[in-house]
């Protein structure tokens, strides 16, 4: 099982990557970068949600 600190690090890195792709989407007017950003944020949120759900059990 993943530790809390590892989850925080991974979620932070994914969020930073999402912010970068969002920046690229705005500066280059590219929908692909926007989609990557959206799915990266969704991935980070899913990881945190899964961790919290497993903590309750």
Rounded to two decimals, the pTM is 0.68
Mean pLDDT throughout 28-35? Answer: 83
**Can you spell out the DSSP letters for 12-42?**
HHHHHHHHHHHHHHHHHT-HHHHHHHHHHHH
- Report pLDDT for 22: 85
Q: Assess if residue 10 is contained within a domain.
A: no
Q: Is the pLDDT score of 16 beyond 70?
A: yes
Q: Assess if residue 39 is contained within a domain.
A: yes
Q: Assess if residue 3 is contained within a domain.
A: no
Q: Is 54 exposed, middle or buried (0-12, 13-18, 19+ CB in 10 A)?
A: exposed
- Report pLDDT for 1: 65
Overall number of domains in the chain: 1
């Amino acid at each position: 099982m993943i530790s809390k600190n590892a989850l925080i690090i991974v979620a932070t890195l994914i969020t930073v990557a999402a912010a970068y792709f969002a920046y690229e989407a705005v500066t280059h007017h590219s929908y692909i970068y926007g989609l990557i950003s959206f799915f990266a944020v969704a991935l980070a949120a899913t990881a945190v949600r899964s961790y919290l759900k497993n903590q309750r059990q």
